[in-house]
Amino acid sequence: MSSIKDVAKLAGVSISTVSRVLNETAHVSADKKERVLEAVKQLDYSPNPAARSLLLRKTGVIGVVVPFASGEFFSEFLKGVDQTASDLEYFLLISISHRSEADLRKAIRSLEKRVDGLIVWAPEMKAGEVLGLLSEATHVLLLNTYAEDGESDLVDFDNYGGMCAVVEHLVGLGHRDIAFLGGPSSAVDAKDRLRAYRDTISQSEIPPRPELEFDGDFTVEAGYAAAARIMALQPRPSAVAAANDQSAFGIIRGLLDAGLEVPSDISVTGFDDVPSSRYMYPPLTTARVPVRQMGELAVETLVDRIIENRKEPRRELVNVELVVRMSTGPPSASRS
């Protein structure tokens, strides 16, 4: 590995001059400049990032902490993040799987020293908790987190509104017995979606049936398991709203395996609109979360904060849009 000294020696100049040429930080005479460039090429030299960040107090790296979320959803987000980060010349230090909350905290803390800024998606933690782990000076952007207003930079999407739209769609089709499969009750997004379900039901003047609410964890398996219990209900619901697409896939699979048809026997909805939702059988009615765009927005906002050294927190709210496909329809005539 060649260092700036080697370049300087080969070019017959001081290391200051080499640095000046490479960073274009001051004018150097034409011949020396050329000699330096030639030496750089010959030695295939590039500056040592560690030395650089030690001195400049910046690393050119953004840390990303994401939950152990479902495959497609999470990878779409990362694509958005990666795309934008590489456009803005940042590297990505990523931490994905956290077996425990302690593990997650440790990951956040140990990332801090290595990055210029941190994107944290931790739906089970409050903003204050995350910020409490970190130095005042660290630039942080929180995603989809329970936060007081103005606590931190935020990118959020409208879990509540999205789920309201979904349930209203079902109600509008004539459904009255609508089951709900939730996500992990500790996560904000899951909580908001559940709240939206309950509010919409009660606003529609449908008598609440608490036994229609099921606990899940955003996985296909949970959906599959829930399907059996949903079919056993009396009277059987004519629709199920799942807290995300993954668990909706599981529900549909369970229903089909039991010989029921979707949507003619039971309508099913998801949440997220992951890419494969429109290729499912039947194509899934769901709420579209522009997760890739959120990744882009997150990086842009964070980098703006880093570069401008902005102090005032910024909050970005992205819309969630109902997408009606084939997995929902009116309740079957036989039931009404």
Partner DNA sequence: TGCTATGTTGAAAACGTTTTCAAGCGCAGA
Partner DNA sequence: TCTGCGCTTGAAAACGTTTTCAACATAGCA
Contact footprint for a copy of itself (CB under 8 A): 1, 46, 48-51, 53-54, 59, 61, 68, 71-72, 74-76, 78-79, 82-83, 86, 91-97, 107, 110-111, 113-114, 135, 137, 220, 224, 249-250, 252-253, 256, 274-276, 279-281, 283
**Overall residue count recorded for the chain in this entry:** 336
- Shortest Cβ distance from residue 132 to DNA (Å)? 21
The item of a copy of itself, DNA, none sharing an interface with residue 306, based on CB under 5 to 8 Å by kind, is none
Q: Indicate the residue among 15 and 92 with the shorter CB distance to DNA.
A: 15
- Whichever of 204 and 219 has its CB closer to a copy of itself, that residue is 219
Residue 275's binding partner, choosing from a copy of itself, DNA, none, with beta-carbon cut-off 5 to 8 A by kind? a copy of itself
Residue 13 or 171 with smaller CB distance to DNA: 13
Shortest Å, Cβ 136 to DNA: 16
Closest by alpha carbon to 331, among 239, 241, 232, 252? 239
The site partner of 23 among DNA, a copy of itself, none (C-beta below 5 to 8 Å per kind) is DNA
Cα distances from 213 to residues 178, 188, 224, in angstroms, run: 9, 17, 15
Binding site for DNA (CB under 7 A): 1, 3-5, 13-20, 22-23, 25-29, 32, 45, 47-48, 51-52, 54-56
| Cβ-based nearer residue to DNA, 52 or 278 | 52
Q: Which does 180 bind (CB under 5 to 8 A by kind): DNA, a copy of itself, none?
A: none
Across-strand partners of 87?
A: none
Burial class (CB in 10 A: 0-12, 13-18, 19+), 83: middle
Sorted by sequence, the CB contacts under 8 Å of residue 244 that are 6+ apart come out as 70, 73, 183, 218, 270, 271, 272
Q: In angstroms, rounded to a whole number, what is the distance separating the alpha carbons of residues 284 and 175? A: 17
Q: How many CA atoms within 13 Å lie on the side-chain side of 40?
A: 18
Provide the minimum distance between the beta carbon of 1 and DNA in the complex, in angstroms, as a whole number: 6
Q: Is the bond leading into 331 cis (omega within 30 degrees of zero)?
A: no
| 112 vs 316, beta carbon nearer DNA | 112
Q: Which does 27 bind (CB under 5 to 8 A by kind): DNA, a copy of itself, none?
A: DNA
Pick what 15 binds: a copy of itself, DNA, none; C-beta below 5 to 8 Å, kind-dependent: DNA
Cα–Cα dist 91/60, whole Å: 6
> 3-state class of 285 per DSSP?
strand
Structural contact between residues 271 and 277, judged by C-beta atoms closer than 8 angstroms: no
